[in-house]
Amino acid sequence: MLIPRPVSVEWGRGFCNARSAEIVVEDCPQLPDEAYSLCIKPHRIVIGASGQAGEFYARVSLEQLVRQFDGRIPSLIIRDEPRFPYRGAHIDVSRHFFDKEVIKKQLRMFASLKINRFHWHLTDGVAWRLEVDAYPELTEGVDHYSKDDVREVLALADSLHITVIPEIEMFGHSEEVLAAYPELKCPVGSRHSGEYCIGSEKTFEFLETVLSEVAELFPSEYIHIGGDEADMTVWQACPRCRERMRSEGLSEVSQLQSYGIQRIEKYVNSLGRKIIGWDEILEGGLAENAAVMSWRGEEGGKKAASMGHGVIMTPGEYCYIDSYQDAPYKEPVAFGGYLPLSKVYSYDPAPDDMPGREFVMGVQTNLWTEQVPVPEHLEYMLYPRVFALAEIAWSPAEGKDYEHFHARALARLHQARKDGYNCFDLENEVGERAETSGKLEHKALGCPVIYGTPYTAPYVADGDGSLTDGVFGSWTLKRDWQGFLNVDMVATVDLGQMTDIREIKADFTQWRTAWVCMPVEVCFEASSDGTSFTPLGTELNEYDLEDLRPAYHMFSWNGETSARYVRVTGRINERKWGWLFIDEIVIN
Ligand code: ACM
Ligand code: ZN
């Protein structure tokens, strides 16, 4: 049936020929703003709603039913309303540009999923994408939206009950601005730094002028001001920024950022609007009326909610769909991580036991586009994961059932492809790495490992027992992989007694985008006393160390020997550059 799943469906008897049936809209003032009822009887369809949004969502559901049942819909009554008022999807158009038609096409799909916020990431270090009359150099020589393009997108969004929230990044991620207007950066720091100088009044003149044009163009209550990942060391070194800190009585650079955000907030409030920022805006003191978008996990969101601020949950682990959605070896190169449909679906932005959950306005998925160059690829990353986001944003937490959702997602993907969307092939999903599904029995299981080189935080896996725990790493680098930085990986397994050995294996991965490379070779050695080792064999690496696509390989030796100690050496490249990642040494 529908995505997102409605609150309740009661099936009746008989069928309705929906294409010829009379449609009646009844005013139901008792219903909340976006809620609706949809009563389908033979010959008659009755929509109940208190306003335009509810009626719109009733028609969205009806349209889906018409398509699904090819016009002949079983009698039914749907009662429905959203769990959260903010149901968002974000697209980064700075790293790669997607023109207005591509954006409008995605808005149509978003609306059909009852998503009601589009967070348009218009500016970032790679390029500024919004025409600004006062500062034409911002968009000189790059693809961008004219104000008329934006108006066209906004008109469509309005008809689809989608609010477009523009993002103007500050005070970091602004290399593109500083390249055009170098007077806005600190007079220190590297040529490449992307931080505005908060000590300079010119910065505020610039940002306020830009924001006034943005507020004139976009009707949204909220304007997103970024706030993430500024390199605050630049401000520490800048005489102007230091002078600002002195005159404002600030002791930390995070307070300087907070000073900047609070000043911008006052300006945005004076335009009759409010700000949203990434969760870094909590550092150094949160601006008075700001809403917080929690992306570095949920902590920022929880903290802001506990302070009574509005929160949008978008933790990377569940909501960042620039990561792989299936086995990375078969997918187009992605930014990193593994986020399958099931994991997006599993997320609950406001569980019952969360303090301050009433301040959670909703949830959002983010698509950053460093690795997403063309519209087909954009859609491939979006669908079906946006389906899952739409459902966790709209449908009640009770009654969640992934298998049921999965079946609906397959049907909906079929429709989306007919409408010309390029979607991920969910039907042939490989799923999580098979090796992770249980604990592997082998002769080294539970045996102590003596490290010849140290593993490096944060990639410690489960510490010293990790390479002989029978547990393999997932497609992501986060779980069960142990990392060795800029050194060989040397580990000796103590089997406790002389043991007949037929096979030794060592499982490595390569994630070039995260500077993780296959070892150039893996050497296997044996010893009876732990001091004098005999070489058994070496397997040379066959992967291209520059290939950006993740790879997984079990280096191995097969033969016959008897030993108490087995030493495995993964040799790092000649430059001694990057990480070696291993999850298990298997001895049989
Ligand atoms: C972010 O992903 N830097 C908000
Ligand atoms: Zn400065």
pLDDT in tens, 299-349: 999 999 999 999 999 999 999 999 999 999 999 999 878 999 999 999 999
Residue type, 199: G
pLDDT of 429 higher than 80 = yes
Burial 97-106 (b: 16+ CB within 10 A, else e): bbebebbbbb
117 pLDDT above the threshold of 80? yes
Mean pLDDT of 383-393: 98
- pLDDT for 189 equals 78
Is residue 34 within 8 A of residue 58, CB to CB? The reply is no
Ligand 1 binding pocket includes 228 (Cβ within 6 Å): yes
Q: Which amino acid, one-letter code, is at 207?
A: L
Residue among 229, 314, 319, 370 to mutate when testing ligand 1 (max atoms within 8 A of CB): 229
For ligand 1, atom 2: residue with the closest CA: 295
pLDDT tier, 513 (very low <50, low <70, confident <90, very high otherwise): confident
Mean pLDDT on 275-300? 95
Ligand nearest to the CA of 199: 2
Across 208-222, average pLDDT = 98
- pLDDT at residue 528 tops 80: yes
- Contact, 473 vs 433, CB < 8 A? yes
Question: Residue range 408-420: average pLDDT?
Answer: 98
Cα angle 373, 379, 382; round to 5: 110
Which ligand is closest to the CA of 200, given by its number? 2
| Residue with CA closest to ligand 1 atom 3 | 228
Model pLDDT, residue 191: 80
Q: What is the mean pLDDT of residues 444-459?
A: 96
Catalytic residues: 124, 173, 229
pLDDT digits (tens, 9 = 90+) for 229-262: 999 999 999 999 999 999 999 999 999 999 999 9
Query: Does ligand 1 lie within 6 Å of residue 229's CB atom?
Result: yes
Residue 478 has pLDDT above 90, yes or no: no
Residue 479, pLDDT above cutoff 80: no
Q: How many CB atoms lie within 10 A of CB 149?
A: 18
The pLDDT value recorded for residue 313 is 98
Could you check whether the bond before residue 458 is cis, i.e. omega within 30 degrees of 0?
Answer: yes
Tokens of 573: 């490249």
Closest CA to ligand 1's atom 1: 228
Round the average pLDDT of the chain to a whole number and report it. 96
Could you read off the pLDDT of 558-586 as tens digits, one per residue?
999 999 999 999 999 999 999 999 999 99
- Residue percentage of the chain with pLDDT more than 70: 100
Query: What is the predicted pLDDT for the residue at 6?
Result: 98
- Of 564, 563, 573, 543, which is closest to residue 555 (Cα–Cα)? 543
Instruction: Report how far ligand 1's centroid is from the alpha carbon of 121 (Å).
Output: 11
| Residue of 64, 65, 61 whose CA lies nearest to 74 | 65
Closest C-alpha to 16, from 58, 57, 69, 63: 69
The answer to whether residues 563 and 498 touch, using CB atoms and an 8 Å cutoff, is yes
3-class DSSP assignment, residue 73: strand
**295 in contact with ligand 1, CB cutoff 6 A:** yes
pLDDT tier at 149, thresholds 50, 70, 90: very high
The CA 291 to ligand 2 mean position distance, Å, reads 26
